[in-house]
Amino acid sequence: MIIRRIAPILILFVLASCSSRQSLFVVLPNADGSSGAVTIETDQKSVLLDHPYAAGEVRKGVAAPVQVDQTQVQQIFGNALAAQPVLPSHFVLYFEKDSDVLTPASKRQYESVFDDIKRRPVYEVEVIGHTDTMGTQPHNQQLSMSRAEMIRDRLVHDGINPKSISVAGRGSLDEAVKTADQVTEPRNRRVEITVR
Amino acid sequence: MNFTNRFWHTAECFAFILAMLAIAGSSANADNSQVAQIKTVSGQAEIVRNGARAAAKIGDPLYEKDTIETGADGSIGITFIDNTVMSGGPNSQIVLEDYKFNSSDFKGSMLTDMNRGTVSMISGDIARSTPGAMKVKTPTAILAVRGTSFVIEVKP
Protein backbone atom coordinates (compact mmCIF):
# COMPACT_ATOMS: atom_id res chain seq x y z
CA MET A 1 0.00 0.00 0.00
CA ILE A 2 2.73 2.41 1.03
CA ILE A 3 4.85 1.24 -1.86
CA ARG A 4 1.96 2.06 -4.18
CA ARG A 5 1.70 5.53 -2.78
CA ILE A 6 5.38 6.42 -2.94
CA ALA A 7 6.13 4.57 -6.18
CA PRO A 8 5.22 7.53 -8.42
CA ILE A 9 7.38 9.79 -6.27
CA LEU A 10 10.26 7.32 -6.47
CA ILE A 11 9.91 7.10 -10.24
CA LEU A 12 9.90 10.88 -10.52
CA PHE A 13 12.97 11.08 -8.31
CA VAL A 14 14.87 8.47 -10.32
CA LEU A 15 13.83 10.12 -13.59
CA ALA A 16 15.02 13.47 -12.32
CA SER A 17 18.40 12.09 -11.27
CA CYS A 18 18.73 10.22 -14.59
CA SER A 19 18.02 13.25 -16.63
CA SER A 20 19.89 15.85 -14.56
CA ARG A 21 23.03 17.22 -16.14
CA GLN A 22 26.26 16.32 -14.35
CA SER A 23 28.57 18.55 -16.35
CA LEU A 24 28.54 20.91 -19.31
CA PHE A 25 31.40 21.75 -21.74
CA VAL A 26 31.38 24.62 -24.24
CA VAL A 27 34.08 25.69 -26.74
CA LEU A 28 34.37 29.47 -26.98
CA PRO A 29 35.67 31.51 -29.93
CA ASN A 30 39.22 32.90 -29.81
CA ALA A 31 39.74 36.65 -30.16
CA ASP A 32 39.93 36.22 -33.98
CA GLY A 33 36.68 34.17 -34.08
CA SER A 34 38.47 30.86 -34.72
CA SER A 35 38.57 27.98 -32.26
CA GLY A 36 40.49 24.80 -31.53
CA ALA A 37 38.84 21.65 -30.26
CA VAL A 38 38.20 19.58 -27.15
CA THR A 39 37.16 15.96 -26.77
CA ILE A 40 34.89 14.83 -23.92
CA GLU A 41 35.96 11.31 -23.03
CA THR A 42 33.73 9.06 -20.90
CA ASP A 43 33.69 5.29 -20.43
CA GLN A 44 30.70 5.09 -22.74
CA LYS A 45 31.44 7.54 -25.50
CA SER A 46 33.63 10.41 -26.74
CA VAL A 47 32.27 13.66 -28.10
CA LEU A 48 34.35 16.06 -30.22
CA LEU A 49 33.60 19.78 -29.93
CA ASP A 50 35.44 21.63 -32.71
CA HIS A 51 33.75 24.96 -33.44
CA PRO A 52 32.77 28.08 -31.44
CA TYR A 53 29.80 27.38 -29.10
CA ALA A 54 29.95 23.64 -29.79
CA ALA A 55 28.76 22.12 -26.50
CA GLY A 56 28.46 18.74 -24.84
CA GLU A 57 27.04 17.49 -21.59
CA VAL A 58 27.31 14.40 -19.42
CA ARG A 59 24.15 12.80 -18.03
CA LYS A 60 24.33 9.53 -16.12
CA GLY A 61 27.97 9.21 -17.13
CA VAL A 62 27.23 9.46 -20.87
CA ALA A 63 28.46 12.34 -23.03
CA ALA A 64 26.28 13.81 -25.78
CA PRO A 65 26.24 16.99 -27.88
CA VAL A 66 23.87 19.72 -26.73
CA GLN A 67 22.72 23.14 -28.01
CA VAL A 68 23.92 26.14 -26.02
CA ASP A 69 23.73 29.79 -27.03
CA GLN A 70 25.71 32.88 -26.04
CA THR A 71 23.06 34.02 -23.52
CA GLN A 72 23.14 30.69 -21.67
CA VAL A 73 26.96 30.80 -21.60
CA GLN A 74 26.80 34.26 -20.04
CA GLN A 75 24.19 33.11 -17.49
CA ILE A 76 26.13 30.04 -16.36
CA PHE A 77 29.73 31.23 -16.80
CA GLY A 78 29.45 35.03 -16.45
CA ASN A 79 31.23 35.15 -13.08
CA ALA A 80 34.06 32.84 -14.16
CA LEU A 81 34.55 34.79 -17.41
CA ALA A 82 34.54 38.13 -15.56
CA ALA A 83 37.41 36.83 -13.34
CA GLN A 84 39.61 36.12 -16.37
CA PRO A 85 43.07 37.77 -16.09
CA VAL A 86 44.45 40.12 -18.77
CA LEU A 87 45.69 37.71 -21.47
CA PRO A 88 49.46 37.20 -21.88
CA SER A 89 51.16 39.34 -24.56
CA HIS A 90 54.13 38.55 -26.77
CA PHE A 91 56.56 41.05 -28.28
CA VAL A 92 59.65 40.80 -30.49
CA LEU A 93 62.20 43.65 -30.51
CA TYR A 94 65.03 43.72 -33.09
CA PHE A 95 68.67 44.82 -32.79
CA GLU A 96 71.41 46.35 -34.91
CA LYS A 97 74.10 43.99 -36.23
CA ASP A 98 76.37 42.51 -33.51
CA SER A 99 75.08 44.99 -30.96
CA ASP A 100 72.67 45.47 -28.06
CA VAL A 101 71.25 48.65 -29.62
CA LEU A 102 67.59 48.42 -30.74
CA THR A 103 66.64 49.21 -34.36
CA PRO A 104 64.75 52.54 -34.69
CA ALA A 105 61.40 50.75 -35.24
CA SER A 106 61.92 48.57 -32.16
CA LYS A 107 62.91 51.59 -30.07
CA ARG A 108 59.40 52.90 -30.73
CA GLN A 109 57.84 49.49 -30.08
CA TYR A 110 59.52 49.32 -26.66
CA GLU A 111 56.91 51.84 -25.49
CA SER A 112 54.06 49.41 -26.19
CA VAL A 113 55.86 46.69 -24.18
CA PHE A 114 56.15 49.10 -21.27
CA ASP A 115 52.48 50.18 -21.57
CA ASP A 116 51.36 46.55 -21.68
CA ILE A 117 53.17 45.76 -18.43
CA LYS A 118 51.84 48.87 -16.68
CA ARG A 119 48.17 48.04 -17.39
CA ARG A 120 48.42 44.83 -15.31
CA PRO A 121 47.73 44.81 -11.53
CA VAL A 122 50.46 42.14 -11.16
CA TYR A 123 52.84 41.01 -13.87
CA GLU A 124 55.59 38.59 -14.82
CA VAL A 125 57.97 39.48 -17.68
CA GLU A 126 60.20 36.99 -19.51
CA VAL A 127 62.96 38.40 -21.72
CA ILE A 128 64.86 35.95 -23.95
CA GLY A 129 67.74 37.19 -26.12
CA HIS A 130 68.72 35.70 -29.51
CA THR A 131 71.35 36.28 -32.23
CA ASP A 132 71.87 35.36 -35.88
CA THR A 133 74.45 32.70 -36.76
CA MET A 134 77.29 35.15 -37.57
CA GLY A 135 80.18 34.79 -35.09
CA THR A 136 81.29 32.14 -32.62
CA GLN A 137 78.90 30.35 -30.29
CA PRO A 138 80.39 31.79 -27.07
CA HIS A 139 80.24 35.28 -28.54
CA ASN A 140 76.60 34.84 -29.57
CA GLN A 141 75.66 33.39 -26.19
CA GLN A 142 77.16 36.48 -24.56
CA LEU A 143 75.52 38.84 -27.06
CA SER A 144 72.06 37.27 -26.65
CA MET A 145 72.35 37.68 -22.87
CA SER A 146 73.50 41.33 -23.21
CA ARG A 147 70.45 42.06 -25.39
CA ALA A 148 68.09 40.55 -22.79
CA GLU A 149 69.86 42.38 -19.95
CA MET A 150 69.72 45.68 -21.84
CA ILE A 151 65.92 45.37 -22.06
CA ARG A 152 65.67 44.39 -18.40
CA ASP A 153 67.80 47.34 -17.30
CA ARG A 154 65.69 49.71 -19.37
CA LEU A 155 62.44 48.32 -17.88
CA VAL A 156 63.82 48.57 -14.34
CA HIS A 157 65.01 52.12 -15.07
CA ASP A 158 61.44 52.93 -16.20
CA GLY A 159 60.01 51.60 -12.92
CA ILE A 160 59.21 47.92 -13.53
CA ASN A 161 59.89 45.65 -10.53
CA PRO A 162 63.18 43.74 -11.17
CA LYS A 163 61.89 40.76 -9.16
CA SER A 164 59.15 40.25 -11.75
CA ILE A 165 61.56 40.10 -14.73
CA SER A 166 63.46 36.98 -15.78
CA VAL A 167 66.18 37.07 -18.46
CA ALA A 168 67.88 34.37 -20.54
CA GLY A 169 70.17 34.22 -23.57
CA ARG A 170 69.79 31.45 -26.16
CA GLY A 171 72.63 32.46 -28.55
CA SER A 172 71.71 31.41 -32.11
CA LEU A 173 69.97 28.18 -30.95
CA ASP A 174 66.37 29.30 -31.62
CA GLU A 175 66.44 31.06 -34.97
CA ALA A 176 63.23 32.80 -36.02
CA VAL A 177 64.40 32.25 -39.61
CA LYS A 178 66.54 29.18 -40.33
CA THR A 179 69.84 30.09 -42.00
CA ALA A 180 73.18 28.44 -42.68
CA ASP A 181 76.04 29.06 -40.23
CA GLN A 182 77.78 32.48 -40.39
CA VAL A 183 74.82 34.34 -41.91
CA THR A 184 73.70 37.80 -40.79
CA GLU A 185 69.89 37.85 -40.55
CA PRO A 186 68.09 40.89 -39.09
CA ARG A 187 65.02 38.82 -38.11
CA ASN A 188 67.16 36.59 -35.86
CA ARG A 189 68.79 39.50 -33.96
CA ARG A 190 66.04 39.89 -31.39
CA VAL A 191 64.62 39.57 -27.90
CA GLU A 192 61.31 37.79 -27.37
CA ILE A 193 59.31 39.25 -24.51
CA THR A 194 56.35 37.56 -22.83
CA VAL A 195 54.24 39.63 -20.45
CA ARG A 196 51.63 37.91 -18.32
CA MET B 1 97.41 -0.86 2.29
CA ASN B 2 94.17 -2.63 3.01
CA PHE B 3 93.20 0.19 5.36
CA THR B 4 93.86 2.93 2.78
CA ASN B 5 91.81 1.01 0.22
CA ARG B 6 88.92 0.78 2.60
CA PHE B 7 89.26 4.47 3.44
CA TRP B 8 89.00 5.43 -0.23
CA HIS B 9 86.10 3.08 -0.76
CA THR B 10 84.23 4.71 2.12
CA ALA B 11 85.09 8.18 0.77
CA GLU B 12 83.78 7.19 -2.67
CA CYS B 13 80.58 5.91 -1.10
CA PHE B 14 80.16 9.20 0.73
CA ALA B 15 80.78 11.21 -2.41
CA PHE B 16 78.24 9.06 -4.27
CA ILE B 17 75.61 9.50 -1.54
CA LEU B 18 76.24 13.27 -1.47
CA ALA B 19 75.86 13.45 -5.25
CA MET B 20 72.59 11.47 -5.09
CA LEU B 21 71.30 13.71 -2.31
CA ALA B 22 72.13 16.76 -4.43
CA ILE B 23 70.21 15.29 -7.39
CA ALA B 24 67.26 14.31 -5.17
CA GLY B 25 67.30 17.81 -3.68
CA SER B 26 67.31 19.52 -7.05
CA SER B 27 64.43 17.43 -8.42
CA ALA B 28 62.45 18.10 -5.24
CA ASN B 29 63.06 21.77 -5.93
CA ALA B 30 61.80 21.43 -9.48
CA ASP B 31 58.58 19.91 -8.16
CA ASN B 32 58.16 22.83 -5.77
CA SER B 33 58.64 25.57 -8.35
CA GLN B 34 55.89 28.04 -9.07
CA VAL B 35 53.47 26.94 -11.82
CA ALA B 36 51.05 29.88 -11.84
CA GLN B 37 50.34 33.30 -10.34
CA ILE B 38 47.06 34.64 -8.94
CA LYS B 39 45.97 37.60 -11.08
CA THR B 40 42.42 38.40 -9.95
CA VAL B 41 40.44 37.69 -6.76
CA SER B 42 36.93 38.72 -5.78
CA GLY B 43 34.83 37.65 -2.78
CA GLN B 44 35.80 34.51 -0.89
CA ALA B 45 38.62 32.55 -2.58
CA GLU B 46 41.03 30.23 -0.79
CA ILE B 47 44.08 28.12 -1.60
CA VAL B 48 44.51 24.76 0.17
CA ARG B 49 48.17 23.64 0.21
CA ASN B 50 49.36 20.55 2.15
CA GLY B 51 46.16 20.69 4.19
CA ALA B 52 46.60 24.35 5.18
CA ARG B 53 43.98 26.88 4.04
CA ALA B 54 44.76 30.53 3.24
CA ALA B 55 42.92 33.42 1.57
CA ALA B 56 43.95 33.85 -2.09
CA LYS B 57 45.80 37.12 -2.74
CA ILE B 58 46.63 38.81 -6.04
CA GLY B 59 50.29 38.18 -6.90
CA ASP B 60 50.62 34.97 -4.84
CA PRO B 61 52.33 31.97 -6.47
CA LEU B 62 50.57 28.65 -7.00
CA TYR B 63 52.21 25.21 -7.01
CA GLU B 64 51.42 21.74 -8.34
CA LYS B 65 48.80 19.98 -6.11
CA ASP B 66 47.32 23.26 -4.84
CA THR B 67 43.51 23.30 -4.49
CA ILE B 68 41.54 26.44 -5.34
CA GLU B 69 38.16 26.92 -3.60
CA THR B 70 35.67 29.75 -3.99
CA GLY B 71 32.64 30.62 -1.88
CA ALA B 72 29.13 31.66 -2.97
CA ASP B 73 30.36 35.19 -3.82
CA GLY B 74 33.89 34.22 -4.91
CA SER B 75 35.87 34.11 -8.13
CA ILE B 76 39.57 33.90 -9.03
CA GLY B 77 41.79 34.25 -12.11
CA ILE B 78 45.27 32.75 -12.56
CA THR B 79 47.88 32.54 -15.33
CA PHE B 80 50.25 29.56 -15.68
CA ILE B 81 53.93 29.77 -16.70
CA ASP B 82 53.05 28.30 -20.13
CA ASN B 83 50.53 31.18 -20.57
CA THR B 84 47.48 29.03 -19.98
CA VAL B 85 44.81 31.28 -18.45
CA MET B 86 42.20 29.91 -16.01
CA SER B 87 39.40 31.51 -14.01
CA GLY B 88 36.89 29.99 -11.61
CA GLY B 89 33.41 31.20 -10.69
CA PRO B 90 31.49 30.83 -7.38
CA ASN B 91 31.22 27.58 -5.36
CA SER B 92 34.06 25.98 -7.29
CA GLN B 93 36.79 23.51 -6.39
CA ILE B 94 39.73 23.14 -8.78
CA VAL B 95 42.89 21.06 -8.13
CA LEU B 96 46.19 21.66 -10.00
CA GLU B 97 46.79 17.90 -10.02
CA ASP B 98 49.72 17.70 -12.47
CA TYR B 99 51.75 20.43 -14.11
CA LYS B 100 55.07 19.99 -15.97
CA PHE B 101 56.49 22.59 -18.36
CA ASN B 102 59.86 23.02 -20.05
CA SER B 103 60.31 26.65 -21.11
CA SER B 104 63.07 25.74 -23.63
CA ASP B 105 60.97 23.50 -25.90
CA PHE B 106 57.51 24.60 -24.61
CA LYS B 107 56.56 20.98 -23.98
CA GLY B 108 54.80 19.73 -20.88
CA SER B 109 51.70 18.14 -19.42
CA MET B 110 48.84 19.49 -17.41
CA LEU B 111 45.99 17.78 -15.56
CA THR B 112 43.42 19.88 -13.72
CA ASP B 113 40.73 18.29 -11.54
CA MET B 114 37.49 20.25 -11.94
CA ASN B 115 35.47 18.92 -9.01
CA ARG B 116 32.59 21.40 -8.84
CA GLY B 117 31.48 24.84 -10.00
CA THR B 118 32.41 26.74 -13.15
CA VAL B 119 35.76 27.32 -14.86
CA SER B 120 36.93 29.13 -17.98
CA MET B 121 40.26 28.22 -19.62
CA ILE B 122 42.35 29.48 -22.53
CA SER B 123 45.06 27.00 -23.40
CA GLY B 124 48.73 28.04 -23.66
CA ASP B 125 52.06 26.61 -24.82
CA ILE B 126 51.52 23.08 -23.41
CA ALA B 127 48.39 22.41 -25.53
CA ARG B 128 49.94 24.22 -28.53
CA SER B 129 53.22 22.24 -28.59
CA THR B 130 51.60 18.85 -27.79
CA PRO B 131 47.90 18.54 -28.68
CA GLY B 132 46.19 16.47 -25.97
CA ALA B 133 48.88 17.14 -23.31
CA MET B 134 46.41 19.43 -21.54
CA LYS B 135 43.60 17.57 -19.79
CA VAL B 136 40.79 18.48 -17.41
CA LYS B 137 39.18 15.78 -15.29
CA THR B 138 35.63 16.08 -13.97
CA PRO B 139 33.94 13.43 -11.77
CA THR B 140 32.29 11.92 -14.88
CA ALA B 141 34.57 12.72 -17.84
CA ILE B 142 38.03 13.70 -19.04
CA LEU B 143 38.45 16.63 -21.42
CA ALA B 144 41.38 16.52 -23.85
CA VAL B 145 42.27 19.96 -25.17
CA ARG B 146 43.63 20.92 -28.58
CA GLY B 147 44.50 24.61 -28.34
CA THR B 148 41.35 26.55 -27.59
CA SER B 149 39.21 28.54 -25.20
CA PHE B 150 36.46 26.67 -23.34
CA VAL B 151 34.26 26.61 -20.23
CA ILE B 152 33.14 23.77 -17.96
CA GLU B 153 30.35 23.52 -15.41
CA VAL B 154 30.31 20.66 -12.90
CA LYS B 155 27.18 20.22 -10.78
CA PRO B 156 27.84 19.36 -7.11
Q: What is the mean pLDDT of residues B134-142?
A: 97
Q: Does B93 touch chain A (CB under 8 A)?
A: no
Cα–Cα distance between A153 and A160 in angstroms, integer? Answer: 9
Kindly state the helix (H) or strand (E) to which residue B135 belongs, with its residue range. Answer: strand B134-137
- pLDDT, residue A1, reads 55
Give A9-20 pLDDT, tens digit per residue: 555 555 455 569
Give A112-163 pLDDT, tens digit per residue: 999 999 999 999 999 999 999 999 999 999 999 999 999 999 999 999 999 9
8 Å CB contact of A40 and B141: yes
Angle ∠(A93,A160,B103) on CA atoms, nearest 5: 55
Q: Facing residues of B93 across strands?
A: B69, B116
Q: In angstroms, what separates the C-alpha of A35 from chain B's closest C-alpha? A: 6
Give A98-107 pLDDT, tens digit per residue: 999 999 999 9
Q: Does A79 touch chain B (CB under 8 A)?
A: yes
Q: Does A77 touch chain B (CB under 8 A)?
A: yes
**What is the separation of C-alpha B128 from the centre of its chain, rounded to a whole number of angstroms?**
18
Kindly state the helix (H) or strand (E) to which residue A145 belongs, with its residue range. Answer: helix A137-157
Closest CA to B151 of A156, A112, A83, A133: A83
Q: In angstroms, what separates the C-alpha of B103 from chain A's closest C-alpha? A: 10
ipTM exceeding the 0.90 mark? no
- Residue % of chain A over a pLDDT of 70: 90
Give B31-69 pLDDT, tens digit per residue: 579 999 999 999 999 999 999 999 999 999 999 999 999
**What is the separation of C-alpha A158 from the centre of its chain, rounded to a whole number of angstroms?**
26
Kindly state the helix (H) or strand (E) to which residue B125 belongs, with its residue range. Answer: helix B125-129
Give A35-90 pLDDT, tens digit per residue: 889 999 998 789 999 999 999 999 999 999 999 999 999 999 999 999 999 999 99
**What is the separation of C-alpha B94 from the centre of its chain, rounded to a whole number of angstroms?**
11
Beta-sheet strand order (sheet of A89-94): A89-94, A190-195, A125-130, A165-169
3-class secondary-structure state, position A46: strand
Pairing mode, strands A165-169 and A125-130:
parallel
* pLDDT tier at B17, thresholds 50, 70, 90: very low
Nearest chain B residue to A45 by CA: give it. B141
- pLDDT, residue B2, reads 52
8 Å CB contact of B76 and A39: no
CB-CB neighbors (< 8 A) of B118 in chain A:
76-77, 79-80
Q: Facing residues of B41 across strands?
A: B76
CB-CB neighbors (< 8 A) of B89 in chain A:
77-80, 83
Q: Facing residues of B116 across strands?
A: B93
